[in-house]
Amino acid sequence: MGKQVALQLCPLSEYLEAQLAERCPVVRWFELDEAAQRAWLATQADSVNVVVTGGHLGCTNDLIDALPSLGLIAINGVGFDKVDVPYARGRGVAVSTTPGVLTDDVADLAVGLTIGLLRGLPAADRFVRDGRWLEEGFPLKRKMTGRRFGIVGLGHIGRATADRLAAFGPIAYHGRMPKDAPYRFEPDLHVLARDSDVLLLACAATEETRGLIDASVLEALGPEGYLVNVARGSVVDEDALAAALDRGTIAGAALDVVADEPVVPVGLIASERTVLAPHIASGTVETRKAMADLVLANVDALLAGAPLPSALK
């Protein structure tokens, strides 16, 4: 096997896998056990110059070290917290993501989760399917219009979410610095939580934001407040969240992400106050194709020795 092999670390869409295979030989790394991986690296490691992976998985430093010809880690997603980017750069390895193309879908799902949470839509569906509507009325839920929304992280996704939610009620946001936006900036996260009916997380997953939503923030959000997370599971202290839901410290939570995906903490599954989704924010046919095309554009650029269209700066 010659140079320019792609190492595929996780399952990808049928379209992306087919298109990638047309460009270069592909090794489906996730289908090999550890012994097979070690054996392959012993003879073929120098042939790999592209790793294609998901944001939920990333690429370890050990694997980067094992691939002397690696030039690009192409992430099919916007999250890059599972890649040590400075380390990769130090080894001469670029890291690309798929920004922009999934913004609309993630913002749409954030709104959908919020409506589903406040109006109890998953529970209402079960109520009808279980035949309970024949015998009783569905409990009253909370109104969406007029809620106060707090956005943590006003990047592309946070801003798109805020613009959608502005039709329902007032918006405030928290981040490292104010943005050029028609919404109130709140430098104190606890104040934002206290002043919000719904706190939505759209920030990047970094060491700075790990466990950002802790017991004190949930306490500030209060017994009539709701949490919605379309960012990353690591942003939330999940033990504190499970306890807050169990005690009624907050009214409920809608989560598209958890820290150890796909393993969801038992307390979050068991709670009647949660709405859960399997990390589907970008999960539409249209957006997944757009993401795949951007991954392929980065691979094409690397193979051609051209500038990468969406490499991290």
Catalytic residues: 232, 261, 279
Residue 120 to residues 37, 142, 153, 269, Cα–Cα distance (Å): 46, 8, 26, 15
Residue 38 to residues 23, 29, 59, 119, Cα–Cα distance (Å): 25, 11, 16, 51
Place of tokens 């694997």: 63
Residue 12 to residues 17, 18, 52, 54, 101, Cα–Cα distance (Å): 6, 10, 9, 8, 17
Backbone angles phi, psi at 43, to 5 degrees: -120, -20
Nearest to 227 by CA among 251, 260, 249: 251
Helix axes 121-129, 103-119, angle to 10 degrees: 60
Strands (E), the chain: 5-8, 26-28, 48-54, 72-76, 94-96, 149-152, 171-174, 184-185, 198-201, 226-229, 252-255, 274-276
Residues in the chain, how many?
Answer: 313
Residue 198, number of CB atoms within 10 A of its CB: 27
Q: What is the C-alpha separation between 173 and 159, in angstroms, rounded?
A: 9
Q: What is the C-alpha separation between 297 and 308, in angstroms, rounded?
A: 8
Q: What is the C-alpha separation between 50 and 71, in angstroms, rounded?
A: 6
Q: Which two tokens stand for residue 276?
A: 């859960």
